[in-house]
Amino acid sequence: MTYDVHIIGGGLAGSEAAWQLARRGLRVRLSEMRGGGDRSPAHHTDALAELVCSNSFRSDDDEKNAVGLLHHEMRQCQSLVMAAAARAQVPAGSALAVDRDVFSAEVEAALAALPTLDIVRERIDRLPEAGLTIVATGPLTAEALAASIAAATGADSLAFFDAIAPIVYHESIDMDVCWMASRWDKPSKLGGGIKDYINCPMTREEYIAFREGLLAGEKTTFKEWEANTPYFEGCMPIEVMAERGEDTLRFGPMKPVGLDNPRTGRWPYAVVQLRQDNKLGTLWNMVGFQTKLKHAEQVRLFRTIPGLQNAEFARLGGLHRNTFLNSPLLLDRQLRLKAAPHIRFAGQITGCEG
Ligand SMILES: Cc1cc2nc3c(=O)[nH]c(=O)nc-3n(C[C@H](O)[C@H](O)[C@H](O)COP(=O)(O)OP(=O)(O)OC[C@H]3O[C@@H](n4cnc5c(N)ncnc54)[C@H](O)[C@@H]3O)c2cc1C
């Protein structure tokens, strides 16, 4: 079979592109390296459209938030990603969070049903010299292809560090200490009196000791070539935030405002929030707790958080290099590579945030 379009990368952007083209009858080859013997350093499955860093699509408010407006526009375009997200939704206040496995399964099932789409489990190592191509290989583009892109663009590939947050088993959380609520007691978008977040309260003493633990904790060290790579401000490791000042965390991910502890009737000094990570409600994601602490250190320190003293972790936090293009310089307004216009880029590799 010959193809009208070759899409490289079956993540969120590649899956959406394949859907939009193939449902219009174009013949599409979708090349995804996972499932063909390769894995990225952060993906855990071979499923198409696996969400990695967070299970949240962020705000779904299309009136006051740019991300929510983008969701709205995508729905107008019959987006597969948005339709799958709706079916996989879990409670998360005004954000749109999903069960990752349900989400991926929905995307895969819809793509598998398209007769002109060929999903091939293969790694592509070079930019094709001809033929319409969409490169959607994401922040963890495999090395050989990244080198081929760097050669074609003449630019050193840009990169920064990004971190992922730990996930805790619900049954290991002490609900006699924690409580369920959204900030300012906002009702859940899912209705039915659902309260979206698990909140772990901290006293001043507990908070100070926790911050000191973060500062002293043993961290993953950088390789030499990584040493000058900056962090992404929107996804900063928690211990890096802690270094910025005593109160930085209390004004960031550990903000207590609007969270009345029902046992005291007051806001705690600081709060750790967990958001549901799967439909069953068995997995909970520590919000904003991305970290590069060593794994044993994470387990020890996070168990000092009130309510998490017996926490069991389904996933621990980690750090990844995140590669992207200097799009304003290299791409035209249709996201075509100026130097090779048969190649388009899509998704996070273009430098957009998720
Ligand atoms: C490091 C990292 C940072 C993240 N940062 C954010 C963020 O800032 N904001 C946010 O909202 N979400 C973030 N996420 C979460 C979310 O997973 C991504 O936003 C989303 O997956 C990006 O979609 P994408 O299609 O661009 O890339 P991906 O979903 O990563 O898809 C790329 C796909 O290409 C495949 N691939 C790579 N190289 C090749 C190759 N040579 N040949 C064939 N296949 C290949 C990969 O296996 C993968 O399936 C991040 C995830 C990671 C891993």
Total residues belonging to the chain: 354
158-164/318-324 β-pairing: antiparallel
Task: Convert the pLDDT of each residue in 83-101 to its tens digit.
Answer: 999 999 998 888 899 999 9
Q: How far is CA 137 from CA 3, 57, 124, 146, 302, in A?
A: 19, 19, 10, 9, 33
Residue 54 CA, ligand 1 centroid: distance in Å: 11
CB-based burial, 238-265: b 16+ in 10 Å, e otherwise: bbbbbeeeeebbbeebbbbeebbbeeee
Confidence of residue 159 (pLDDT cuts 50, 70, 90): low
Residue 164 CA, ligand 1 centroid: distance in Å: 13
Strand partners, 160: 322
Task: Convert the pLDDT of each residue in 137-158 to its tens digit.
Answer: 998 899 889 888 888 887 665 6
Which sign, positive or negative, has the C-alpha torsion 164, 170, 171, 174? Answer: positive
Residue 279 CA, ligand 1 centroid: distance in Å: 22
Largest CA distance in the chain: 67
289 close to 166: Cβ distance less than 8 angstroms? yes
Cα 231 from Cα 97, distance rounded (Å):
24
Going along the chain from its start, the domains and CATH numbers come out as 5-155+325-350 (3.50.50.60), 163-320 (2.40.30.260)
Atom of ligand 1 nearest to the CA of 320: 1
| pLDDT value of residue 226 | 54
Structure tokens at 37: 């013997």
Cα 195 from Cα 176, distance rounded (Å):
16
Cα 80 from Cα 245, distance rounded (Å):
43
Ligand 1 test: best mutation among 348, 349, 350, 353, most atoms within 8 Å of CB? 348
- Mapped onto helix, strand or coil, the DSSP state of residue 327 is helix
Average pLDDT, the chain: 90
Q: pLDDT at residue 297 above 70?
A: yes
Task: Convert the pLDDT of each residue in 204-251 to its tens digit.
Answer: 999 999 999 999 998 877 655 455 566 666 677 899 899 999 999 999
